[in-house]
Amino acid sequence: MPANLTPQYHAAEDAFRRAVTVEEKIEALQEMLAVIPKHKGTDRLQGDIKKRLAKLKEEGQRKSKSGGYNPFHVEKQGAGQVVLVGYPNTGKSSLVAALTRAKLKIADYPFTTAIPAAGMMPYEDILIQLVDTPPLTAEGMPAGLLNTLRGGDLLLLIIDAASPDCLEQLEEMLSLLREKKVIREQNTGLKEMGASEKQEMKTEPEVEDEYGRRFLPYLVAATKMDHAESLENMKILRELMPNLTLNTVSTEERELLDSLREATFHALQIIRIFTKAPGKPADMETPFVLKKGGTILDLAFSIHRDFPNRLKNARVWGSSRFDGQTVSRDYVLEDRDIVELNV
């Protein structure tokens, strides 16, 4: 049976031939697998692509373990890693410095940030890691930055509210991130958007498609709201993109900074769980952090890998019907629940 390969497949195959790094080759193979016609004539070819993909992923893991220093790798810390993305002088470094205790180099000239730099943002009883990154340009993104973005849990897209080009900044960022398969292909949210697409800018959980491509959720933040021209620019932006969920922020206004902290927490889709030993008060200082939808079994595993096998029963205060209710191992927890695990 003929394969009848499409132009999209041949384009992805050409990208694979031109790929230099392991990451670029993996991306091209995933695209080939996604666009290849699915019928008996391509079964063998699909199997070959999957084998090459698995081999390259193993190679990439070996290199990451044995390789030397990678300035674009940022080890995850805290309850979640949020990577900031933006063009030169949009205020990324200033925002990270205002939200964290990180001492970053801040200047009025572009490209002050040459490699990623991280700081920890307090939010109530947890810390969230913010990662400042080198800026995007009209030519794209610096080599190495793509892996930094893909390694995060959430992207924070930064636009300069005081700039007349703020709309172009956002549209170009979305276009580039979609092209690189970092975020999912969706409508931009302009006026002509239909009713079925009104959720375009709503933050969605991280997803992974059947070809192993991981798409990240994102927020949009407009900085420099203390500048005189920012209000008018944001009014125009909201008129052109009525479905845009926009977080406005200024490093000079605490209320706006706190609002962004809260929006970031909710966008990470995480919950905080407190634990207690039988007959003792709950530890309300250091919560365990789980993904939304996490269960008693997930909590037990996060405490110690042997806990699930030893777990006899669990009691929950908070989301349960009554305080101290005994629940099953697959009970879905909610934010700020208190759990007693009995082993």
108 lies in which domain range?
A: 81-267
Q: Say whether both 253 and 220 belong to one domain.
A: yes
> Would you say 146 and 208 are in contact if contact means Cβ atoms under 8 Å apart?
no
> With the CA atoms of 303, 309, 310 and 313 taken in that order, what torsion angle do they form, in degrees rounded to the nearest 10?
90
Burial zone of 101 (CB within 10 Å; 0-12 exposed, 13-18 middle, 19+ buried): exposed
d(CA 32, CA 10): 8
> Would you say 125 and 283 are in contact if contact means Cβ atoms under 8 Å apart?
no
pLDDT reported for residue 194: 33
> Would you say 99 and 93 are in contact if contact means Cβ atoms under 8 Å apart?
no
> Would you say 296 and 339 are in contact if contact means Cβ atoms under 8 Å apart?
yes
What are 272's strand-pairing partners? 289
Q: Say whether both 123 and 155 belong to one domain.
A: yes
**Is residue 18 situated within a structural domain?**
yes
> Would you say 225 and 217 are in contact if contact means Cβ atoms under 8 Å apart?
no
**Is residue 71 situated within a structural domain?**
no
Q: What is the DSSP string of 11-64?
A: HHHHHHHH--SHHHHHHHHHHHHHHS--SGGGHHHHHHHHHHHHHHHHHHHHHH
d(CA 215, CA 162): 30
d(CA 193, CA 188): 8
**Is residue 76 situated within a structural domain?**
no
User: DSSP letter at 295?
Assistant: B
Distance between alpha carbon 187 and the CA centroid of its chain, in Å? 19
Q: Say whether both 93 and 56 belong to one domain.
A: no
Q: What is the CATH number of the domain that holds 331?
A: 3.10.20.30
Q: Say whether both 215 and 298 belong to one domain.
A: no
Q: Say whether both 60 and 183 belong to one domain.
A: no
**Is residue 74 situated within a structural domain?**
no
pLDDT reported for residue 211: 58
**Is residue 116 situated within a structural domain?**
yes
Q: What is the CATH number of the domain that holds 205?
A: 3.40.50.300
**Is residue 75 situated within a structural domain?**
no
**Is residue 235 situated within a structural domain?**
yes
pLDDT reported for residue 25: 84
Q: Say whether both 143 and 21 belong to one domain.
A: no
Q: Say whether both 103 and 249 belong to one domain.
A: yes
Q: Say whether both 289 and 244 belong to one domain.
A: no
Question: Any idea which residue has 């759990």 for tokens?
Answer: 339
3-state DSSP assignment of residue 122? strand
User: DSSP letter at 91?
Assistant: S
pLDDT tens digit at each of 343 positions of the chain: 567 888 888 888 888 888 877 777 888 888 888 888 888 888 889 889 888 888 887 776 666 555 566 777 888 999 999 999 999 999 999 999 999 977 766 555 555 567 888 999 999 999 999 999 999 887 778 778 888 998 899 999 999 999 999 999 999 999 999 988 899 865 444 443 333 333 334 455 566 655 566 789 999 999 999 999 999 999 999 999 988 889 999 999 999 999 999 999 999 999 999 999 998 999 898 999 999 999 999 999 998 888 888 888 999 999 999 999 999 999 999 999 999 998 8
E strands present in 30-185 = 81-86, 117-123, 126-132, 154-160
Q: Say whether both 92 and 207 belong to one domain.
A: yes
Domain end call among 217, 235, 267: 267
Q: Say whether both 149 and 95 belong to one domain.
A: yes
Number of domains forming the structure of the chain: 3
Q: Say whether both 300 and 163 belong to one domain.
A: no
3-state DSSP assignment of residue 285? strand
Domain end call among 244, 267, 290: 267
> With the CA atoms of 53, 57, 62 and 64 taken in that order, what torsion angle do they form, in degrees rounded to the nearest 10?
140
Whole-prediction pTM value? 0.78
**Is residue 157 situated within a structural domain?**
yes
Q: Say whether both 323 and 276 belong to one domain.
A: yes
E strands present in the chain = 81-86, 117-123, 126-132, 154-160, 207-208, 214-215, 218-223, 246-248, 270-276, 282-291, 313-317, 325-327, 337-342
H helix count then E strand count, the chain: 10, 13
